[in-house]
């Protein structure tokens, strides 16, 4: 008789291990969500308070004193514009690297990859001086341009891998039908690479949304996006934990909503080309 206890025990351990890993990631989010609705007394209690009367005082405070609505709009404008610009530049570049012969293509790809290795803090001062001298400091444009520059290498390399998996016969068929190389890219390759585009768009949006250093250096005042506003919770009288947790939820929820709404495209995009027939 086959041993039936082995697979069930293995499956149980597998589920338990996955549950433990997931809970480790979800617990801080749950704690932040609960803390955003706790009173100051419950937040600063020496022992954890699980049962409490919810309050909206922290939410009223951040919207009334920190202009969260305006900074949320700034983040949306900068992230959407950066994502659109990155895809508009990255897709044609990825198509050219994938489809056309290029002298020392491997060296070019390595150069593109090495640009991604540059830490933003190393380029912050030169970019700041450039922004001041060109007059784009403290504008939406400065963050859109610099974020696009930092996200473009990632987008090109990822989209190139997607386009590499699309058969070249599709380009040839589009050319026979009368399309130019540019027309073949837009009419034939673009629809097939849509999962990869959505996947890249989601990552670029998240990276731009969460970007802190450039957002804190290149703009000031009412033009700042959401992440630098968290620093307002650090006061001379201590840390405002309640408003900080509420603002953390405001920063997190749009990204979570976008990720869940595009999860099916995300799964298809991440596994595109992983298995060949």
Q: Report the predicted TM-score, pTM, of the whole model to 2 decimal places.
A: 0.86
Q: Can you give 58-95 as a three-state secondary structure string?
A: HHHHHHHHCCHHHHHHHHHHHHHHHHHHHHHHHHHHHH
Q: Give the CATH number for residue 156.
A: 1.10.3720.10
Domain encompassing residue 116: 67-271
Domain assignment present for residue 255? The answer is yes
Output the DSSP codes for 227-258: GGGGGGGEETTEE-HHHHHHHHHHHHHHHHHH
- Tell me: pLDDT of 272 over 70: no
Domain assignment present for residue 259? The answer is yes
Domain assignment present for residue 196? The answer is yes
Domain assignment present for residue 49? The answer is no
Listed ranges 28-32, 143-147, 257-261, 265-269; the one with the highest mean pLDDT? 143-147
Domain assignment present for residue 17? The answer is no
Domain assignment present for residue 134? The answer is yes
Backbone φ, ψ for residue 235 (5° rounding)? -115, 170
Looking at the chain, how many residues does it have?
277
Give the count of domains, the chain.
1
Domain assignment present for residue 13? The answer is no
Domain assignment present for residue 265? The answer is yes
CA distance 273 to 277: 10
Mean pLDDT across the chain, nearest whole number?
87
pLDDT tens digits, 136-182: 999 999 999 999 999 999 999 989 988 998 898 998 888 888 888 88
């Amino acid at each position: 008789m086959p041993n039936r206890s082995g697979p069930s025990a293995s499956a149980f351990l597998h589920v338990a291990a996955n549950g433990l890993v997931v809970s480790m990631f979800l617990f801080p989010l749950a704690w932040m969500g609960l803390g955003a609705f706790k009173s100051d007394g419950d937040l600063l209690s020496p022992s954890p308070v699980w049962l409490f009367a919810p309050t909206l005082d922290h939410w009223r405070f951040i919207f009334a004193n920190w202009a969260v609505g305006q900074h949320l709009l700034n983040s949306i404008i900068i992230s959407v514009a950066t994502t659109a610009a990155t895809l508009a530049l990255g897709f044609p570049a990825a198509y050219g690297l994938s489809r056309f012969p290029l002298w020392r293509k491997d060296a070019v790809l390595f150069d593109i990859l090495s640009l991604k290795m540059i830490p933003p803090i190393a380029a912050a001062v030169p970019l700041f001086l450039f922004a001041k001298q060109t007059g784009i400091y403290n504008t939406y444009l400065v963050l859109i341009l610099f974020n696009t520059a930092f996200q473009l290498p990632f987008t090109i390399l990822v989209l190139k891998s997607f386009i590499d998996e699309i058969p070249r016969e599709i380009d040839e068929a589009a050319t026979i039908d009368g399309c130019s190389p540019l027309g073949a890219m837009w009419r034939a390759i673009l629809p097939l690479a849509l999962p990869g585009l959505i996947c890249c768009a989601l990552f670029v949006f998240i990276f731009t949304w969460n970007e802190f250093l450039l957002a804190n250096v290149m703009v000031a005042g009412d033009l700042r996006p959401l992440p630098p506003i968290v620093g307002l919770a650090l006061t001379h009288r201590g840390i405002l934990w309640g408003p900080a947790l509420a603002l953390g939820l405001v920063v997190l929820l749009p990204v979570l909503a976008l990720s869940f709404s595009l999860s099916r495209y995300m799964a298809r995009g991440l596994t595109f080309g992983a298995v060949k027939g």
